[in-house]
């Protein structure tokens, strides 16, 4: 029988995660995209695989999606969106100034990051699904298949990223001050 546990993050808790975010974001400015992604992958590897509790595995699956999004050469984020994503992933990089964190701290940070990037994650999942399932049956004979595929991906990416930006703006406009504070942690 499942047991639901919830908790509130108070001002001191939010300050802790804000401090970690600021320290790792500052550290990330000196790192390459590849190094930031590698650090996030190392955190992902620390999850303990199938031995971790289900709620931790669920959050680490979100981290995997963020890593996939950052590394996907066909997703083509704008410079601003890419920086935002890398700032979020940098929260999982090792910084000498950042306090040691454990599995639960990482799960909480993933929760915060994935809430901040909720619309980005949704758009990317839709893009990936479109690419994997819809393109297979859309081939037209006598047409350059690669050019056709690239055009369909470009069109779908534009629609999804436009939707992502609109939803993010609506969420920010409707958010209370503590939520806005969290959004600002990752470079908004």
Question: What torsion, rounded to 10 degrees, do the Cα atoms 91, 183, 121, 1 define?
Answer: 80
Q: Phi/psi of residue 124, each to 5°?
A: -65, -40
120 touches 186 (CB < 8 A): no
70 is a domain residue? yes
Q: What is the radius of gyration, based on Cα positions, of the chain?
A: 18
72 is a domain residue? yes
Q: What is the pLDDT of residue 142?
A: 61
Closest CA to 126 of 150, 160, 158: 160
Q: What is the pLDDT of residue 67?
A: 96
Q: What is the pLDDT of residue 137?
A: 64
Which residue segment(s) compose the domain that 96 sits in?
A: 11-185
Q: What is the pLDDT of residue 96?
A: 46
Q: What is the 3 state secondary structure string of 102-118?
A: CHHHHHHHHHHHHHHCH
> What tens-digit pLDDT sequence spans the chain (188 residues)?
767 777 788 888 888 878 877 777 777 778 899 999 998 998 888 776 667 778 888 889 999 999 999 999 999 999 999 988 998 898 887 554 455 567 778 888 888 888 889 999 999 999 999 999 876 666 666 667 788 889 999 999 999 999 999 999 898 888 765 555 554 555 54
21 is a domain residue? yes
4 is a domain residue? no
49 is a domain residue? yes
Name the domain count of the chain.
Answer: 1
89 touches 70 (CB < 8 A): yes
171 is a domain residue? yes
Q: Give every CB contact of residue 185 below 8 A, 6+ residues apart in sequence.
A: 17, 18, 21, 22, 112, 116
Q: How far is residue 163's CA from residue 123's CA, in Å, rounded to a whole number?
A: 8
Q: What is the pLDDT of residue 97?
A: 46
30 is a domain residue? yes
Q: What is the pLDDT of residue 188?
A: 43
Q: Is the dihedral of CA 103, 108, 111, 114 positive or negative?
A: negative
2 is a domain residue? no
Q: How far is residue 55's CA from residue 104's CA, in Å, rounded to a whole number?
A: 10
């Amino acid at each position: 029988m499942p047991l639901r546990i919830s908790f509130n993050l108070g001002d001191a808790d939010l300050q802790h995660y804000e401090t970690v975010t600021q320290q790792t974001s500052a550290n990330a400015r000196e790192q390459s995209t590849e190094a930031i992604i590698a650090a996030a992958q190392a955190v992902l590897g620390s999850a303990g695989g199938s031995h971790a509790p289900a709620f931790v595995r669920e959050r680490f699956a979100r981290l995997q999606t963020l890593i996939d999004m950052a590394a996907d050469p066909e997703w083509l984020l704008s410079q601003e969106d890419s920086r935002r994503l890398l700032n979020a992933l940098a929260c999982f990089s090792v910084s000498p100034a950042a306090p040691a964190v454990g599995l639960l701290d990482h799960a909480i940070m993933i929760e915060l990051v994935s809430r901040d990037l909720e619309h980005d994650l949704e758009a990317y999942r839709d893009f990936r699904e479109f690419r994997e399932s819809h393109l297979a049956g859309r081939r037209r004979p006598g047409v350059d298949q690669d050019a056709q595929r690239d055009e369909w991906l470009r069109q779908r990416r534009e629609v999804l990223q436009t939707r992502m930006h609109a939803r993010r703006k609506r969420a920010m406009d409707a958010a209370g001050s503590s939520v806005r504070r969290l959004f600002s942690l990752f470079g908004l």
